[in-house]
Amino acid sequence: MAMEATLLGVIIMSFRTEDDIEEYAGITYKMMAADIFETFGRPVNYYFNMKGIGDGLGFGHNGVELSIGISILDDYEDYTKPIEAYGFARFSYTWEEDMEERMPLPDFVLFLKDACRVFCELHPEETEKAQAALAKAVATVEKMQAAHLEWKKAHPEA
Amino acid sequence: MAIYLRGLSYEVKGMRDVAPSPLVLKAGSHVVDVAFGAQTPTTLNLTDAEFGDEYYEQLYIVDTPAQYDGPLKFPSTAKGSVRAAGKAVNGIHAAKKAGVPGDALVDMLGEVDLAMRATLGVYEDLSLTARNDAEARLMLAMQGCPANYHKHPGVHQIYENAESVFSGVAPGTFVGPDGLCYGAPYVARWREGISAETRDWMSVAKMLELISGWSVYMGPSGGDSGPAGWLERTLGAIGDMIVSTAHAQGRRLGGSRGQFARRGGLKTPKRGAGSNPRRRPVGRNGSRAHTQTHSRRPVKSNRKIKFRGAKFSSKDAHNHFFNGEGVRTNGTFNGGHTTTTYARDVAASGARPLGSAPHPRVRGVYENRYQPRKQAGSQGPGGVRMGGRFGKAETKTVVDTAIRSARQVMRDMKQALRNGMMRPKFQPNAPYQTFNGYTKSGVKIKFHVSGHGNGSYTVRSYYYVF
């Protein structure tokens, strides 16, 4: 793997294997988010993940979970708040009750775009299909973000 | 072909005069699981030194080859399945008399239990909302009600706690297949109007409970506590039936059959097996015992793994891998990375399997995709009932322990852990971290490890990754 840090602090890497993605994820994202980011490396998982997000639910791999929307209600077992109140994506491990990572939805969109970029570098032949899947997922997340902003406007105290 | 049996300390017919002595497994010989007949060729010379620890398994040569005759299949009607299961159980009873070891009996019984549920399409734990026709009939029969009883004139919905109704605390009412509570104030339903078909379903419920209670029934000593003709007697007298519901309190102590009473709504015996509440409870149902036996781990698997002064405690992780941590209300199930535990959890939760892909290089490792099903009691926003709906899709990597044995899995884990902690990503002082490791043959395993300082770590979870 070729890797260099530029003056701006941006990491430039070339991706040849899925282990490169693992390393990049470890440098770029927090622990749980990095675990999820790694799973985007394999084509079968990439489309699986993007579909889960496009459906507004999230997904899980071996207990490493990403929840958005209604799945967050299940995670917290709190059904009093509406879905729009949660303006973030939640990363968690099923075997750790008291650990989680949150990522605001706008950041999450960037996260997805980054995953798509890395995936396309690794599998350039899949670029078109991958971007179509990304577009669907991003549309869902942006819709959720819009709903969240509206909810926030109606509930400024929350 | 020489065949070796693992972990069994009993005498085999024709071997009575031979003094048992520990053997060394040579490469190229075959290890056969007695209950399932799965063959595993030995690739290494296994000795005590190989495991780095003394272990107490005895190996015996047997000259009768074990043969696997495929999974049990029963007729799919209630009556037919009870009859076939009865026959099978009587066969097992005969095997017990002939001196077949308890482990094998539990395996057989688990198989009967699984076959019965599979043919009827009945899930392992009945939830309070029926998921298919068979389960609806069974659920009603368990409460002494004919099918569609909740639609009879005079029967109306009442507002009681379904779980307490179902467990017999409020006997004047019953739970319908839709999970709602119904009351029938003036219909004498307990003794009248039970059709032959309902009676068959009652037999199914009784049979399932009997199979589940078998391990208790035999007693810890495995003595002659199983009386002859127990099947006929118990099937003849259909009284109150106990089947655990998914979210009602489970059966904690064994040995209870008969009336509902006392602690947790269940009767416990005053003396003898199951009377001591401090004793570790026995496995609650047959297929659990079945899966545990199948994916049985080598003894002393909880020993700390030590590399260069670092101590890894892996007991919980092995438990997570081989046994799993059960189904949650939202339908996801944690751990259980073997094919048997996966099948168990899918059946218990009614999850929707989406597909399975084999590992490109490692035989016996698969990546399964499934959609968990929310269990009875699940809610949605505003308290909407969500039981029975599907949640977000998940993947789980599982290993078939009939192909890649539990011992091999643990050896893989040890090798990969050693490799993982020597890779640059490993941070000795991190309180919590994730890293991958490779075995000597290049199999990738992912670890989630918490560190406690002073070179001591706990492996929280590990699994194969593709």
Predicted local confidence at residue B184, as pLDDT: 65
Instruction: Look at B380 and A70 and tell me if their CB atoms are within 8 Å.
Output: yes
Q: What is the DSSP letter of A17?
A: S
**pLDDT beyond 70 at B272:** no
The shortest C-alpha distance from A59 to chain B (Å) reads 5
Tell me the average pLDDT across B82-100.
86
Structure confidence by residue, pLDDT tens digits, B320-357? 999 888 888 888 888 899 998 998 888 888 888 898 99
What are the φ/ψ torsions at residue B343 (nearest 5 degrees)? -60, -40
Q: B52-87 burial, b if ≥16 CB within 10 A, otherwise e?
A: eeeeeeebbebeeebeeeeebebeeebeebbbbbbe
- pLDDT averaged over every residue in chain A: 89
**pLDDT beyond 70 at B190:** no
**pTM (predicted TM-score):** 0.54
Interface with chain A: mutation pick from B434, B438, B444, highest number of A CBs within 10 Å: B434
Instruction: Look at A48 and B383 and tell me if their CB atoms are within 8 Å.
Output: no
Percent of chain B with pLDDT over 70: 62
Highest mean pLDDT among B4-18, B132-146, B235-249, B407-421: B407-421
Tell me the average pLDDT across B104-119.
84
Predicted local confidence at residue A5, as pLDDT: 45
Lowest mean pLDDT segment, chosen from A9-13, A40-44, B302-306, B360-364: A9-13
**pLDDT beyond 60 at B56:** no
- Identify which has the larger pLDDT, B40 or A150: A150
What are the φ/ψ torsions at residue A28 (nearest 5 degrees)? -90, -40
**pLDDT beyond 60 at B170:** no
Residues of chain B contacting residue A62, judged by C-beta atoms under 8 Å apart: 337, 395-397, 446, 461, 463, 465
Residues of chain B contacting residue A99, judged by C-beta atoms under 8 Å apart: 432
**pLDDT beyond 90 at A113:** yes
Instruction: Look at A79 and B392 and tell me if their CB atoms are within 8 Å.
Output: no
Q: Chain B neighbours among A 74-93 (CB < 8 Å)?
A: 74, 77, 79, 81-83, 93
Interface with chain B: mutation pick from A39, A47, A74, A140, highest number of B CBs within 10 Å: A74
Tell me the average pLDDT across B152-170.
72
What are the φ/ψ torsions at residue B353 (nearest 5 degrees)? -70, 135
Residues of chain A contacting residue B434, judged by C-beta atoms under 8 Å apart: 31, 34-35
**pLDDT beyond 50 at A75:** yes
Percent of chain A with pLDDT over 90: 68
- Identify which has the larger pLDDT, B215 or B304: B304
**pLDDT beyond 80 at A128:** yes
pLDDT-derived band of residue A34, with 50, 70 and 90 as boundaries?
very high
**pLDDT beyond 50 at B423:** yes
Instruction: Look at B332 and A60 and tell me if their CB atoms are within 8 Å.
Output: yes
Q: What is the DSSP letter of A107?
A: H
Using an 8 Å CB-CB cutoff, list residues of chain B that contact chain A.
Answer: 320, 325, 329-330, 332, 334-335, 337, 357, 369, 374, 378-383, 391-397, 425, 432-434, 436, 446, 448, 460-461, 463, 465-466
Instruction: Look at A48 and B395 and tell me if their CB atoms are within 8 Å.
Output: yes
The shortest C-alpha distance from B264 to chain A (Å) reads 25
Residue corresponding to tokens 């119904």: B182
Percent of chain B with pLDDT over 90: 13
**At A43, is the secondary structure helix, strand, or coil?**
helix
**pLDDT beyond 80 at B229:** no
**pLDDT beyond 60 at B50:** no
Structure confidence by residue, pLDDT tens digits, B288-326? 433 444 445 555 555 678 877 788 988 889 989 998 888
Predicted local confidence at residue B46, as pLDDT: 57
**CA–CA gap between residue A42 and residue B359 (Å, rounded):** 13
Interface with chain B: mutation pick from A20, A44, A49, A62, highest number of B CBs within 10 Å: A62
Tell me the average pLDDT across A52-79.
91
Q: Which of B353, B377, B341, B330 is nearest to A92 (CA)?
A: B330
Highest mean pLDDT among A122-136, B186-200, B208-222, B345-359: A122-136
Instruction: Look at A95 and B463 and tell me if their CB atoms are within 8 Å.
Output: no
> Residues B235, B214: contact at Cβ < 8 Å?
no
Q: What is the DSSP letter of A84?
A: G
Residue corresponding to tokens 């497994």: B25
Which residue on chain A is closest to B386 by alpha carbon? Answer: A74
> Residues B377, B247: contact at Cβ < 8 Å?
yes
Q: How far is CA B131 from CA B128, B139, B347, in A?
A: 9, 10, 11
Sign of the four-CA dihedral B226, B282, B373, B316 = negative
> Residues B136, B121: contact at Cβ < 8 Å?
no
Which residue on chain B is closest to A80 by alpha carbon? Answer: B382
- pLDDT averaged over every residue in chain B: 71
Q: Which helix (H) or strand (E) holds A152?
A: helix A127-154
Which ipTM score applies to this complex? 0.90
Q: Chain B neighbours among A 35-64 (CB < 8 Å)?
A: 35, 42, 44-45, 48, 51-52, 55, 57-63
